[in-house]
A = this chain, B = another copy of it.
Amino acid sequence: MSISLSPAILQLLKNSDDLMPAIAQDSLSGEVLMLAYVNTESLAHTIDSGYATYFSRSRNQLWKKGETSGHLQKVVSISIDCDGDAILFQVEQEGAACHTGEFTCFHREIHPAQDLNS
């Protein structure tokens, strides 16, 4: 089955040919889990399946998050930003979002006082 986005969504996007950054946020805790990229095809698959599907830039193909690891992201809601070039998924994360085993990919905090050269 070929699936595509409706005109109603397409008109919200700045450029439907571009890859767009997509943020996954845990719908329960509010934690930002990861940032990956989507194209219109992966967005259509996300909507159709109900699970976050990105476009892997390294593998150059659709990437259903957790398809091999089981760490699926059930999508609760999808929002597009004001200028139509970034996406926010609210998700229920199965297991951990990060391949390291951490719940979120954003687990490395910078401590500014130590880390700036003036």
Binding site secondary structure of chain A: mixed
* 0/1 string, A1-45, CB within 8 A of B gives 1: 101111011001000000001010100011110110000000010
Known: A5-B117, A25-B32, A47-B115. A107 touches B78 (CB 8 A): no
Q: How many copies does the complex hold?
A: 2
Q: Please list the residues of chain A having a beta carbon within 8 angstroms of any beta carbon in chain B.
A: 1, 3-6, 8-9, 12, 21, 23, 25, 29-32, 34-35, 44, 47-48, 50, 77-83, 86, 88, 98-100, 102, 105-110, 112, 114-118
Q: What are 21 contact pairs spanning A and B, CB under 8 A?
A: A3-B117, A3-B118, A5-B116, A6-B117, A8-B114, A9-B110, A12-B110, A21-B86, A23-B32, A25-B32, A32-B88, A34-B81, A48-B118, A78-B109, A79-B106, A79-B107, A79-B109, A80-B108, A81-B105, A82-B100, A82-B105
